Structure 1
Protein backbone atom coordinates (compact mmCIF):
# COMPACT_ATOMS: atom_id res chain seq x y z
CA UNK A 1 0.00 0.00 0.00
CA UNK A 2 1.48 3.31 -1.07
CA UNK A 3 0.85 6.85 0.07
CA UNK A 4 -0.86 9.05 -2.49
CA UNK A 5 0.97 12.17 -3.57
CA UNK A 6 -0.46 15.61 -2.87
CA UNK A 7 -1.30 16.03 -6.56
CA UNK A 8 -3.21 12.73 -6.54
CA UNK A 9 -5.08 13.77 -3.40
CA UNK A 10 -6.00 17.03 -5.11
CA UNK A 11 -7.47 15.05 -8.01
CA UNK A 12 -9.48 12.98 -5.53
CA UNK A 13 -10.76 16.06 -3.72
CA UNK A 14 -11.66 17.74 -7.01
CA UNK A 15 -13.56 14.67 -8.24
CA UNK A 16 -15.58 14.42 -5.03
CA UNK A 17 -16.18 18.17 -4.75
CA UNK A 18 -17.67 18.17 -8.25
CA UNK A 19 -20.54 16.02 -6.95
CA UNK A 20 -21.89 18.93 -4.89
CA UNK A 21 -22.28 16.98 -1.66
CA UNK A 22 -22.92 18.88 1.56
CA UNK A 23 -23.05 16.18 4.24
CA UNK A 24 -19.70 15.94 6.00
CA UNK A 25 -20.39 12.31 6.86
CA UNK A 26 -20.86 11.29 3.20
CA UNK A 27 -17.94 13.41 1.99
CA UNK A 28 -15.62 11.69 4.45
CA UNK A 29 -17.01 8.26 3.68
CA UNK A 30 -16.52 8.69 -0.08
CA UNK A 31 -13.11 10.31 0.38
CA UNK A 32 -11.88 7.49 2.62
CA UNK A 33 -13.12 4.91 0.12
CA UNK A 34 -11.39 6.64 -2.78
CA UNK A 35 -8.08 7.01 -0.95
CA UNK A 36 -8.00 3.49 0.48
CA UNK A 37 -8.86 2.03 -2.94
CA UNK A 38 -6.29 4.07 -4.86
CA UNK A 39 -3.54 3.26 -2.37
CA UNK A 40 -3.71 -0.35 -3.53
CA UNK A 41 -2.53 0.57 -7.04
CA UNK A 42 0.63 1.92 -8.60
CA UNK A 43 0.96 5.55 -9.63
CA UNK A 44 0.62 4.74 -13.32
CA UNK A 45 -2.73 3.08 -12.62
CA UNK A 46 -4.10 6.05 -10.70
CA UNK A 47 -6.03 7.71 -13.54
CA UNK A 48 -7.71 4.49 -14.66
CA UNK A 49 -8.73 3.53 -11.11
CA UNK A 50 -9.99 7.02 -10.34
CA UNK A 51 -12.12 6.87 -13.48
CA UNK A 52 -13.47 3.49 -12.35
CA UNK A 53 -14.40 4.95 -8.98
CA UNK A 54 -16.14 7.84 -10.71
CA UNK A 55 -18.24 5.39 -12.69
CA UNK A 56 -19.42 3.78 -9.46
CA UNK A 57 -19.75 6.87 -7.27
CA UNK A 58 -21.80 8.94 -9.67
CA UNK A 59 -23.52 12.20 -8.80
CA UNK A 60 -26.85 10.44 -8.39
CA UNK A 61 -25.43 7.59 -6.33
CA UNK A 62 -23.66 9.92 -3.90
CA UNK A 63 -26.70 12.13 -3.45
CA UNK A 64 -28.78 9.03 -2.83
CA UNK A 65 -26.33 8.12 -0.05
CA UNK A 66 -26.76 11.59 1.39
CA UNK A 67 -30.56 11.41 1.26
CA UNK A 68 -30.56 7.93 2.79
CA UNK A 69 -28.35 9.13 5.62
CA UNK A 70 -30.84 11.85 6.50
CA UNK A 71 -33.82 9.53 6.32
CA UNK A 72 -32.25 6.61 8.17
CA UNK A 73 -30.74 8.76 10.92
CA UNK A 74 -34.07 10.47 11.61
CA UNK A 75 -35.82 7.10 11.78
CA UNK A 76 -33.11 5.63 13.99
CA UNK A 77 -33.25 8.52 16.47
CA UNK A 78 -37.05 8.29 16.75
CA UNK A 79 -36.99 4.50 17.04
CA UNK A 80 -34.31 4.46 19.73
CA UNK A 81 -35.95 7.28 21.67
CA UNK A 82 -39.26 5.44 21.73
CA UNK A 83 -37.50 2.33 23.04
CA UNK A 84 -35.90 4.35 25.82
CA UNK A 85 -39.21 6.00 26.78
CA UNK A 86 -40.95 2.63 26.94
CA UNK A 87 -38.19 1.32 29.19
CA UNK A 88 -39.09 3.96 31.79
CA UNK A 89 -42.40 2.19 32.31
CA UNK A 90 -40.88 -1.25 32.78
CA UNK A 91 -40.92 -2.52 36.35
CA UNK A 92 -37.14 -2.18 36.81
CA UNK A 93 -37.19 1.56 36.02
CA UNK A 94 -40.75 2.47 36.93
CA UNK A 95 -39.70 3.48 40.43
CA UNK A 96 -37.45 6.19 39.00
CA UNK A 97 -40.24 7.54 36.81
CA UNK A 98 -42.64 7.59 39.76
CA UNK A 99 -39.98 9.24 41.90
CA UNK A 100 -39.51 11.99 39.33
CA UNK A 101 -43.26 12.47 39.09
CA UNK A 102 -43.63 12.71 42.87
CA UNK A 103 -40.91 15.36 43.03
CA UNK A 104 -42.61 17.42 40.34
CA UNK A 105 -45.99 17.09 42.05
CA UNK A 106 -44.46 18.28 45.32
CA UNK A 107 -42.84 21.25 43.61
CA UNK A 108 -46.04 22.09 41.77
CA UNK A 109 -48.10 22.04 44.97
CA UNK A 110 -45.78 24.61 46.53
CA UNK A 111 -45.97 27.09 43.67
CA UNK A 112 -48.27 30.03 44.24
CA UNK A 113 -48.44 32.11 41.06
CA UNK A 114 -49.02 31.61 37.36
CA UNK A 115 -45.54 32.96 36.65
CA UNK A 116 -43.99 30.29 38.86
CA UNK A 117 -45.85 27.55 37.01
CA UNK A 118 -44.53 28.91 33.72
CA UNK A 119 -41.00 29.06 35.13
CA UNK A 120 -41.30 25.38 36.07
CA UNK A 121 -41.91 24.57 32.40
CA UNK A 122 -39.07 26.82 31.28
CA UNK A 123 -36.55 24.85 33.36
CA UNK A 124 -36.61 21.70 31.15
CA UNK A 125 -36.84 23.92 28.07
CA UNK A 126 -33.63 25.64 29.15
CA UNK A 127 -32.00 22.27 29.75
CA UNK A 128 -32.92 21.22 26.20
CA UNK A 129 -31.31 24.37 24.81
CA UNK A 130 -28.15 23.63 26.80
CA UNK A 131 -28.19 20.04 25.58
CA UNK A 132 -28.42 21.16 21.95
CA UNK A 133 -25.37 23.41 22.40
CA UNK A 134 -23.52 20.53 24.04
CA UNK A 135 -24.26 18.26 21.06
CA UNK A 136 -23.05 20.92 18.64
CA UNK A 137 -19.80 21.14 20.57
CA UNK A 138 -19.22 17.40 20.94
CA UNK A 139 -20.08 16.39 17.37
CA UNK A 140 -18.16 19.15 15.59
CA UNK A 141 -15.20 16.87 14.77
CA UNK A 142 -16.78 15.36 11.64
CA UNK A 143 -17.50 18.82 10.32
CA UNK A 144 -14.03 20.17 11.03
CA UNK A 145 -12.28 17.23 9.34
CA UNK A 146 -14.43 17.54 6.22
CA UNK A 147 -13.88 21.30 6.00
CA UNK A 148 -10.13 20.86 6.38
CA UNK A 149 -10.05 18.37 3.49
CA UNK A 150 -12.52 20.10 1.18
CA UNK A 151 -11.47 23.63 2.04
CA UNK A 152 -12.74 25.13 -1.23
CA UNK A 153 -16.34 24.20 -0.37
CA UNK A 154 -16.11 24.50 3.40
CA UNK A 155 -18.89 27.10 3.59
CA UNK A 156 -21.44 24.64 2.17
CA UNK A 157 -20.44 21.61 4.25
CA UNK A 158 -22.67 20.64 7.17
CA UNK A 159 -22.98 17.74 9.57
CA UNK A 160 -26.31 16.08 8.80
CA UNK A 161 -26.32 13.93 11.93
CA UNK A 162 -25.65 16.93 14.16
CA UNK A 163 -28.33 19.05 12.49
CA UNK A 164 -30.94 16.30 12.81
CA UNK A 165 -30.10 15.66 16.46
CA UNK A 166 -30.12 19.35 17.39
CA UNK A 167 -33.41 19.94 15.57
CA UNK A 168 -34.90 16.97 17.40
CA UNK A 169 -33.79 18.47 20.70
CA UNK A 170 -34.98 22.04 20.18
CA UNK A 171 -38.25 21.29 18.36
CA UNK A 172 -40.32 21.24 21.59
CA UNK A 173 -38.48 24.36 22.73
CA UNK A 174 -39.57 26.29 19.66
CA UNK A 175 -43.10 24.91 19.73
CA UNK A 176 -43.83 25.25 23.43
CA UNK A 177 -42.25 28.67 23.72
CA UNK A 178 -44.88 30.01 21.34
CA UNK A 179 -47.66 28.09 23.11
CA UNK A 180 -46.56 29.30 26.54
CA UNK A 181 -46.35 32.92 25.46
CA UNK A 182 -50.02 32.95 24.42
CA UNK A 183 -51.51 32.32 27.89
CA UNK A 184 -48.72 34.33 29.49
CA UNK A 185 -49.58 37.37 27.38
CA UNK A 186 -53.29 36.80 27.91
CA UNK A 187 -52.91 36.63 31.68
CA UNK A 188 -50.72 39.73 31.77
CA UNK A 189 -53.21 41.67 29.65
CA UNK A 190 -56.44 40.61 31.33
CA UNK A 191 -55.16 39.90 34.84
CA UNK A 192 -57.01 36.57 34.95
CA UNK A 193 -55.97 33.25 36.39
CA UNK A 194 -55.74 30.25 34.10
CA UNK A 195 -57.40 27.53 36.21
CA UNK A 196 -55.72 24.60 34.48
CA UNK A 197 -52.23 26.10 34.42
CA UNK A 198 -50.94 24.05 37.42
CA UNK A 199 -52.01 20.77 35.86
CA UNK A 200 -50.81 21.71 32.38
CA UNK A 201 -47.43 22.90 33.65
CA UNK A 202 -46.97 19.67 35.61
CA UNK A 203 -47.75 17.49 32.60
CA UNK A 204 -45.57 19.55 30.26
CA UNK A 205 -42.64 19.56 32.68
CA UNK A 206 -42.81 15.79 33.14
CA UNK A 207 -43.12 15.20 29.39
CA UNK A 208 -40.22 17.53 28.59
CA UNK A 209 -37.97 15.91 31.17
CA UNK A 210 -38.72 12.42 29.82
CA UNK A 211 -38.17 13.73 26.29
CA UNK A 212 -34.82 15.26 27.17
CA UNK A 213 -33.57 12.34 29.25
CA UNK A 214 -34.52 9.83 26.56
CA UNK A 215 -32.78 11.89 23.87
CA UNK A 216 -29.69 12.13 26.06
CA UNK A 217 -29.57 8.34 26.31
CA UNK A 218 -29.98 8.07 22.54
CA UNK A 219 -27.17 10.59 22.09
CA UNK A 220 -24.89 8.49 24.30
CA UNK A 221 -25.62 5.44 22.14
CA UNK A 222 -24.91 7.30 18.90
CA UNK A 223 -21.77 8.91 20.30
CA UNK A 224 -20.15 5.48 20.42
CA UNK A 225 -20.17 5.39 16.62
CA UNK A 226 -19.70 9.10 15.90
CA UNK A 227 -16.68 11.30 16.63
CA UNK A 228 -16.88 13.03 19.97
Structure 2
Protein backbone atom coordinates (compact mmCIF):
# COMPACT_ATOMS: atom_id res chain seq x y z
CA UNK A 1 0.00 0.00 0.00
CA UNK A 2 1.46 3.32 -1.08
CA UNK A 3 1.26 6.77 0.50
CA UNK A 4 -0.61 9.53 -1.30
CA UNK A 5 1.47 12.42 -2.60
CA UNK A 6 0.96 15.96 -1.32
CA UNK A 7 -0.83 16.86 -4.56
CA UNK A 8 -3.18 13.88 -4.22
CA UNK A 9 -3.95 14.69 -0.59
CA UNK A 10 -4.79 18.25 -1.58
CA UNK A 11 -7.23 16.95 -4.19
CA UNK A 12 -8.88 14.76 -1.54
CA UNK A 13 -9.16 17.71 0.85
CA UNK A 14 -10.61 19.92 -1.88
CA UNK A 15 -13.19 17.28 -2.84
CA UNK A 16 -14.29 16.85 0.76
CA UNK A 17 -14.35 20.60 1.43
CA UNK A 18 -16.69 21.15 -1.52
CA UNK A 19 -19.32 19.03 0.21
CA UNK A 20 -19.74 21.89 2.72
CA UNK A 21 -20.35 19.57 5.67
CA UNK A 22 -20.02 20.93 9.20
CA UNK A 23 -19.93 17.67 11.17
CA UNK A 24 -16.35 17.04 12.27
CA UNK A 25 -17.10 13.38 12.95
CA UNK A 26 -18.41 12.80 9.43
CA UNK A 27 -15.60 14.79 7.78
CA UNK A 28 -12.98 12.68 9.57
CA UNK A 29 -14.77 9.47 8.58
CA UNK A 30 -14.99 10.48 4.91
CA UNK A 31 -11.37 11.67 4.82
CA UNK A 32 -10.09 8.42 6.35
CA UNK A 33 -12.23 6.38 3.95
CA UNK A 34 -11.00 8.31 0.91
CA UNK A 35 -7.34 8.10 1.86
CA UNK A 36 -7.46 4.41 2.82
CA UNK A 37 -9.26 3.52 -0.40
CA UNK A 38 -7.00 5.56 -2.69
CA UNK A 39 -3.78 4.28 -1.10
CA UNK A 40 -4.67 0.77 -2.23
CA UNK A 41 -4.49 1.79 -5.90
CA UNK A 42 -1.49 2.82 -8.03
CA UNK A 43 -0.97 6.47 -8.85
CA UNK A 44 -2.17 6.10 -12.45
CA UNK A 45 -5.63 5.06 -11.19
CA UNK A 46 -5.93 7.81 -8.60
CA UNK A 47 -8.20 10.16 -10.57
CA UNK A 48 -10.61 7.44 -11.69
CA UNK A 49 -10.91 6.10 -8.14
CA UNK A 50 -11.39 9.60 -6.72
CA UNK A 51 -14.17 10.23 -9.24
CA UNK A 52 -15.75 6.94 -8.22
CA UNK A 53 -15.66 7.93 -4.56
CA UNK A 54 -17.22 11.27 -5.39
CA UNK A 55 -20.10 9.53 -7.17
CA UNK A 56 -20.69 7.25 -4.19
CA UNK A 57 -20.26 9.95 -1.54
CA UNK A 58 -22.37 12.55 -3.30
CA UNK A 59 -23.30 15.83 -1.61
CA UNK A 60 -26.90 14.75 -1.06
CA UNK A 61 -25.81 11.40 0.39
CA UNK A 62 -23.36 13.09 2.76
CA UNK A 63 -25.97 15.63 3.88
CA UNK A 64 -28.30 12.77 4.72
CA UNK A 65 -25.54 11.02 6.68
CA UNK A 66 -24.91 14.23 8.59
CA UNK A 67 -28.60 14.61 9.44
CA UNK A 68 -28.86 11.00 10.60
CA UNK A 69 -25.69 11.35 12.67
CA UNK A 70 -27.12 14.32 14.56
CA UNK A 71 -30.35 12.44 15.23
CA UNK A 72 -28.38 9.43 16.45
CA UNK A 73 -26.29 11.49 18.88
CA UNK A 74 -29.37 13.29 20.24
CA UNK A 75 -31.26 10.04 20.79
CA UNK A 76 -28.21 8.32 22.28
CA UNK A 77 -27.67 11.14 24.80
CA UNK A 78 -31.33 11.19 25.82
CA UNK A 79 -31.38 7.41 26.23
CA UNK A 80 -28.18 7.33 28.28
CA UNK A 81 -29.37 10.19 30.47
CA UNK A 82 -32.74 8.56 31.09
CA UNK A 83 -31.14 5.21 31.98
CA UNK A 84 -28.84 6.98 34.43
CA UNK A 85 -31.77 8.84 36.01
CA UNK A 86 -33.69 5.58 36.41
CA UNK A 87 -30.64 3.99 38.03
CA UNK A 88 -30.72 6.69 40.72
CA UNK A 89 -34.11 5.42 41.83
CA UNK A 90 -33.22 2.06 43.22
CA UNK A 91 -34.77 1.58 46.67
CA UNK A 92 -31.93 2.98 48.87
CA UNK A 93 -31.26 5.91 46.55
CA UNK A 94 -34.96 6.76 46.24
CA UNK A 95 -35.40 6.88 50.02
CA UNK A 96 -32.26 8.95 50.46
CA UNK A 97 -33.46 11.37 47.76
CA UNK A 98 -36.89 11.75 49.42
CA UNK A 99 -35.35 12.50 52.80
CA UNK A 100 -32.89 14.95 51.24
CA UNK A 101 -35.67 16.84 49.42
CA UNK A 102 -37.73 17.10 52.62
CA UNK A 103 -34.77 18.39 54.63
CA UNK A 104 -33.85 20.84 51.87
CA UNK A 105 -37.42 22.12 51.77
CA UNK A 106 -37.41 22.76 55.53
CA UNK A 107 -33.99 24.39 55.33
CA UNK A 108 -34.71 26.86 52.52
CA UNK A 109 -38.04 27.74 54.12
CA UNK A 110 -36.06 29.72 56.68
CA UNK A 111 -34.65 32.08 54.01
CA UNK A 112 -36.31 34.88 52.01
CA UNK A 113 -37.51 33.83 48.57
CA UNK A 114 -34.75 35.69 46.67
CA UNK A 115 -32.11 33.98 48.79
CA UNK A 116 -33.73 30.65 48.07
CA UNK A 117 -33.50 31.31 44.35
CA UNK A 118 -29.82 32.23 44.66
CA UNK A 119 -28.99 29.07 46.61
CA UNK A 120 -31.18 26.59 44.78
CA UNK A 121 -30.58 27.75 41.24
CA UNK A 122 -27.24 29.53 41.47
CA UNK A 123 -25.06 26.55 42.37
CA UNK A 124 -26.45 24.08 39.78
CA UNK A 125 -26.36 26.69 37.03
CA UNK A 126 -22.75 27.60 37.88
CA UNK A 127 -21.89 23.89 37.62
CA UNK A 128 -23.61 23.61 34.23
CA UNK A 129 -21.92 26.77 32.95
CA UNK A 130 -18.51 25.47 34.04
CA UNK A 131 -19.24 22.07 32.52
CA UNK A 132 -20.25 23.65 29.22
CA UNK A 133 -17.08 25.77 29.21
CA UNK A 134 -14.79 22.77 29.79
CA UNK A 135 -16.53 20.71 27.11
CA UNK A 136 -16.31 23.48 24.52
CA UNK A 137 -12.66 24.29 25.29
CA UNK A 138 -11.72 20.64 24.82
CA UNK A 139 -13.78 20.52 21.66
CA UNK A 140 -12.13 23.63 20.21
CA UNK A 141 -8.68 22.05 20.46
CA UNK A 142 -9.87 18.91 18.67
CA UNK A 143 -11.69 20.88 15.97
CA UNK A 144 -8.53 22.92 15.31
CA UNK A 145 -6.57 19.72 14.66
CA UNK A 146 -9.27 18.50 12.25
CA UNK A 147 -9.31 21.82 10.39
CA UNK A 148 -5.54 21.56 10.04
CA UNK A 149 -5.84 17.99 8.72
CA UNK A 150 -8.39 19.13 6.10
CA UNK A 151 -6.27 22.07 4.99
CA UNK A 152 -8.06 24.74 7.08
CA UNK A 153 -11.30 24.99 5.05
CA UNK A 154 -13.09 28.34 5.03
CA UNK A 155 -16.43 26.97 6.26
CA UNK A 156 -17.32 26.30 9.88
CA UNK A 157 -16.72 22.88 11.41
CA UNK A 158 -18.24 21.65 14.66
CA UNK A 159 -18.72 18.38 16.48
CA UNK A 160 -22.22 16.95 16.04
CA UNK A 161 -21.87 15.19 19.38
CA UNK A 162 -20.76 18.32 21.25
CA UNK A 163 -23.49 20.40 19.60
CA UNK A 164 -26.19 18.04 20.86
CA UNK A 165 -24.49 17.75 24.24
CA UNK A 166 -24.38 21.54 24.61
CA UNK A 167 -28.10 21.75 23.87
CA UNK A 168 -28.75 19.23 26.62
CA UNK A 169 -26.50 21.05 29.07
CA UNK A 170 -28.27 24.41 28.70
CA UNK A 171 -31.75 22.88 28.68
CA UNK A 172 -32.38 23.72 32.41
CA UNK A 173 -32.08 27.43 31.60
CA UNK A 174 -35.57 27.12 30.11
CA UNK A 175 -36.82 25.88 33.49
CA UNK A 176 -35.10 28.79 35.17
CA UNK A 177 -36.70 31.34 32.85
CA UNK A 178 -40.08 29.64 33.16
CA UNK A 179 -39.94 29.62 36.93
CA UNK A 180 -38.89 33.25 37.26
CA UNK A 181 -40.70 34.98 34.43
CA UNK A 182 -44.07 33.26 34.00
CA UNK A 183 -45.33 34.18 37.51
CA UNK A 184 -44.25 37.78 36.92
CA UNK A 185 -45.95 37.98 33.52
CA UNK A 186 -49.28 36.75 34.87
CA UNK A 187 -49.00 38.54 38.22
CA UNK A 188 -48.94 35.36 40.26
CA UNK A 189 -46.08 36.29 42.57
CA UNK A 190 -48.41 37.93 45.10
CA UNK A 191 -51.14 35.30 44.80
CA UNK A 192 -49.17 32.08 45.30
CA UNK A 193 -48.54 31.25 48.99
CA UNK A 194 -44.90 31.36 50.00
CA UNK A 195 -44.99 27.72 51.13
CA UNK A 196 -45.94 26.66 47.59
CA UNK A 197 -43.21 28.85 46.11
CA UNK A 198 -40.72 27.18 48.44
CA UNK A 199 -41.87 23.73 47.37
CA UNK A 200 -41.64 24.74 43.71
CA UNK A 201 -38.15 26.13 44.27
CA UNK A 202 -36.96 22.86 45.76
CA UNK A 203 -38.65 20.87 42.98
CA UNK A 204 -37.02 22.89 40.21
CA UNK A 205 -33.67 22.74 41.98
CA UNK A 206 -33.97 18.97 42.33
CA UNK A 207 -34.75 18.59 38.62
CA UNK A 208 -31.79 20.76 37.62
CA UNK A 209 -29.39 18.88 39.91
CA UNK A 210 -30.69 15.55 38.60
CA UNK A 211 -30.23 16.78 35.05
CA UNK A 212 -26.72 18.05 35.82
CA UNK A 213 -25.49 14.77 37.28
CA UNK A 214 -27.07 12.62 34.58
CA UNK A 215 -25.83 14.68 31.61
CA UNK A 216 -22.33 14.77 33.12
CA UNK A 217 -22.30 10.98 33.52
CA UNK A 218 -23.75 10.52 30.02
CA UNK A 219 -20.96 12.71 28.62
CA UNK A 220 -18.29 10.63 30.38
CA UNK A 221 -19.77 7.43 28.95
CA UNK A 222 -20.39 8.66 25.40
CA UNK A 223 -17.12 10.59 25.05
CA UNK A 224 -15.25 7.27 25.25
CA UNK A 225 -16.84 6.01 22.03
CA UNK A 226 -17.33 9.17 19.94
CA UNK A 227 -14.78 10.26 17.37
CA UNK A 228 -14.71 13.83 18.66
Q: TM-score, normalised by structure 1?
A: 0.87
| Alpha carbons 1:169, 1:215 under 8 Å: kept | yes
Whether 2:29 is the aligned partner of 1:29: answer: yes
Higher relative contact order (CA 8 A, sep 6+): 2
Mapped contact 2:13–2:150 kept (Cα < 8 A): yes
Structure 1 segment 38-49 matched on structure 2, within 5 A: 38-49=38-49
Distance 1:155 1:18, change over 3 A: closer
Q: Residue 129 of structure 1: CA displacement?
A: 1.4
- Distance between the aligned counterparts of 2:96 and 2:5, measured in 1? 58
Q: CA contact under 8 A between 2:38 and 2:50: conserved in structure 1?
A: yes
Count of matched residue positions in the alignment of Structure 1 and Structure 2 = 225
SS in 1 for 2:21: coil
The residue that corresponds to 1:78 in the other structure is 78
State the SS of the aligned residue for 2:40: coil
4+ runs of 1 displaced by more than 4 Å?
A: 181-187, 190-194
5+ residue gaps in structure 2?
Answer: none
**Which runs of 5 or more residues in structure 1 are unaligned?**
none
Higher mean C-alpha displacement, 23-32 vs 129-138: 129-138
- 2:212 is the counterpart of 1:204: no
Deviates more, 1:117-126 or 1:203-212: 117-126
1:110-189 alignment, distance < 5 Å: 111-119=110-118, 120-177=120-177, 179-181=179-181, 183=183
Q: Give the TM-score taking structure 2 as reference length.
A: 0.87
Of 146-155 and 206-215, deviating more is 146-155
